[in-house]
Amino acid sequence: MELIFLGTGAGIPSPERNVTAVALALNEERGTFWLFDCGEATQHQIMRSPLKLSRLEYIFITHLHGDHIYGLPGLLSSRSYHGGTTPLTIFGPAGLARFIETSLQVSGSHLDYELRIEELQEGVIFEDEQFTISCARLEHRIDSYGYRIVEHDLPGRLDRDRLIADGILPGPIYQQIKLSKEPIAYEGRLLDPKRYVGPDIPGRKLAILGDTRPAPNALQLAQTVDVLVHEATFAEAEAELARRYYHTTTRQAAEIAAQAGAGELILTHFSSRYNREDLAWLIQEASRYHKPVYAAYDGYQHPIPRK
């Protein structure tokens, strides 16, 4: 599992930063990647990354401002040309379906795959055997959402040496023991999986939030996550400007991470007034209130290992 930042700027692109898009690469977990927001030229950024557009599985849109959605029509069309034939589902606020359907219809675009669009209701929006994803509304000029991604716990390590010592030879029974929580009948005896399987491996948790002022739901989504991705459009000294435009400062993002008991904080969505050289002092500002802090830049890759 790895985060790849494709665009880290706010509002408009700059020579150093494209507008917002973050990929969650799940190569080992599913052989796919998920995309959070899709600003203009996101498909170009994907071509400069290790990602393959054909492996895009889900898109999660935080809100409908142009710097978060204007890359969708081109990316959806190009996916067909890159060999994308598997279904693709897009989650986002009300109005997203109209935007996408109108763009594709007017441009005469043809997709070689099934496109599904799910407009958001707060709460759990996706769940399978690996992940649960929920969303909640934040505080911005238009409806803006944050996402919480929770990986399910994995079964612990199987103690093969103990199994063999107890006369249980390798075979399908090993998988049954690893996955079961109840005793298993084997050759006239009951095997207790707890004797042979270590503690569950905790799943990873992360939160990726859209544009927002500091908001109660941001704190809720970020509770005890391993990684929090939070906008920091402005430096600490620009708190009034951030409030006026419904954004967050470096300090405010760090305070949310600290109050939520989050692990790593990754700042992104920087105003074009800040350049690459400014990232060090933006990190320094936030680090007074929470650690560790990272400042994303276009192309930044951030692994999220299992504990």
Q: What is the CATH number of the domain that holds 246?
A: 3.60.15.10
In a shared domain, residues 211 and 181: no
Q: What is the reported pLDDT for 155?
A: 87
90 lies in the same domain as 228: yes
Q: In this structure, are 54 and 129 located in the same domain?
A: yes
Number of folded domains in the chain? 2
Co-location of 127 and 179 in the same domain: no
The pLDDT score that the predictor gives to residue 109 is: 94
Query: Do 253 and 172 fall within a single domain?
Result: no
Picking from 144, 171, 196, the residue at the C-terminal end of a domain is: 196
Which of residues 196, 221, 249 is at a domain's end? Answer: 196
Answer positive or negative: Cα dihedral of 111, 45, 263, 244.
Answer: negative
Nearest partner of 275 among 16, 12, 5, judged by Cα? 16
User: Which is the catalytic residue, given 37, 67, 226, 298?
Assistant: 67
Question: What is the token pair recorded at 130?
Answer: 């690996």
- Contacts of 188-196 spanning 24+ positions with Cβ under 8 A: 195/162, 196/158, 196/159, 196/162, 196/163
230 is in an annotated binding site: no
DSSP string for residues in 127-188: E-SSEEEEEEE--SSS--EEEEEEEPPBP--B-HHHHHHTT--SSHHHHHHHH-SS-EEETT
Question: Are 148 and 247 in a shared domain?
Answer: yes
Residues 112, 249, single domain; the answer is yes
Domain co-membership, 174 together with 246: no
Per-residue pLDDT tens over the stretch 44-76: 999 999 999 999 999 999 999 999 999 999 999
Question: In which domain, by residue range, is 172 found?
Answer: 160-196
Task: Verify whether residue 153 is a known catalytic residue.
Answer: no
294 and 213 within one domain: yes
pLDDT digits (tens, 9 = 90+) for 69-86: 999 999 999 999 999 999
The pLDDT tens digits for 139-195 are 999 999 999 999 999 989 999 999 999 999 899 999 899 888 899 899 888 999 899
Q: Is the same domain home to 142 and 165?
A: no
Q: Examine the domain organization and report whether 281 and 191 are in the same domain.
A: no
- Tokens representing 98? 């109209």
- 109 and 212 inside one domain: yes
Q: Is residue 140 marked as binding?
A: yes
Beta bridge partners of 32: 26
Determine contact, residues 204/306, Cβ cutoff 8 Å.
Answer: yes
